[in-house]
Amino acid sequence: MDPWLLTVAGVGHLGGKVRVSAIAMPADMADKAAVRLTPEATAGIPVTAAYVHKVEVSEVLLREAWATGEDTYWIRADWPRSHGFYTSRHGLHDPLLLAETVRQAVPLLSHAGYGAPFGHRQSWSSLNYALTPAALAVGEGDTEIELRVACQDVVRRAGRLASMNLQVEIVRDGTRVGTARTRFANHAPVLYERIRGPYADLAGATARALPPAPPVDPARVGREHPADVVLAASDVPGRSRLRIDLRHPVLFDHPVDHAPGMLLLEAARQAAQAVAHPRPVVAVGMDTLFTRYCELDAECWIHAGLLDSPGSGTTRAVVSLVQNDLCVFSGVVTLMEIPGA
The dihedral through the CA atoms of 11, 21, 204, 191 has a sign that is: negative
How far is residue 23 from each of residues 45, 113, 121, 130, measured CA to CA in Å?
21, 17, 5, 23
Q: Of 187, 204, 227, which residue sits at a domain end? A: 187
CATH of the domain at 93: 3.10.129.10
In this predicted model, what pLDDT tens digit does every residue of 84-109 receive, in sequence order? 999 999 999 999 999 999 999 999 99
Measured CA to CA, the distance from residue 259 to residue 127 in angstroms comes to 16
The H or E element that residue 103 is part of is helix 96-108
**pLDDT score of 238:** 77
96 and 166 in a common domain? yes
Domain boundary among 172, 187, 202: 187
pTM summary value: 0.91
Cβ neighbour number for residue 229 with a 10 Å cutoff: 24
Of 220, 13, 181, whose CA–CA distance to 98 is shortest? 181
15: CB partners within 8 A, 6+ apart: 126, 289
* Residue 171 and residue 259 in one domain: no
pLDDT bucket at 41, cuts 50 / 70 / 90: confident
Q: Are residues 158 and 264 in the same domain?
A: no
Q: Can you give the pLDDT at residue 207?
A: 97
Contact 107, 53 (CB under 8 A): yes
**pLDDT for 313 beyond 90:** no
Q: What span, in angstroms and rounded, lies between the C-alpha atoms of 310 and 114?
A: 45
Q: Total domain count for the chain? A: 2
Q: Is pLDDT at 29 greater than 70 in this prediction?
A: no
- Helices 261-276 and 96-108 cross at an angle (nearest 10°) of 160
Q: Do 204 and 278 reside in the same domain of the chain? A: yes
> Across residues 157-173, what is the average pLDDT?
97
How large is the average pLDDT for residues 12-32? 47
Q: Are residues 309 and 171 in the same domain?
A: no
Exposure of 70 in the CB half-sphere (CA atoms within 13 A): 2
Count other C-beta atoms under 10 Å from residue 17's C-beta: 12
Domain of 71 in residue numbering reads as 29-187
**What is the mean predicted confidence (pLDDT) over 28-45?**
74
pLDDT > 70? residue 327: yes
Please check the confidence at residue 13 and state whether its pLDDT lies above 80: no
CB-based contact 73:66 (threshold 8 Å): yes
**How far is 124 from 128, CA to CA, in rounded Å?**
11
pLDDT at 155: 98
pLDDT at 30: 52
From 37-51, 124-138, 278-292, the region with the lowest mean pLDDT: 37-51
- Spatial CA neighbour of 177 closest among 140, 136, 142: 136
> Cis omega (within 30 of 0) on the bond before 117?
no
Q: Are residues 269 and 174 in the same domain?
A: no
Rounded Cα distance, 337 and 341, in Å: 9
Q: What is the pLDDT of residues 119-164, one digit of tens each?
A: 999 999 999 999 999 999 999 999 999 999 999 999 999 999 999 9
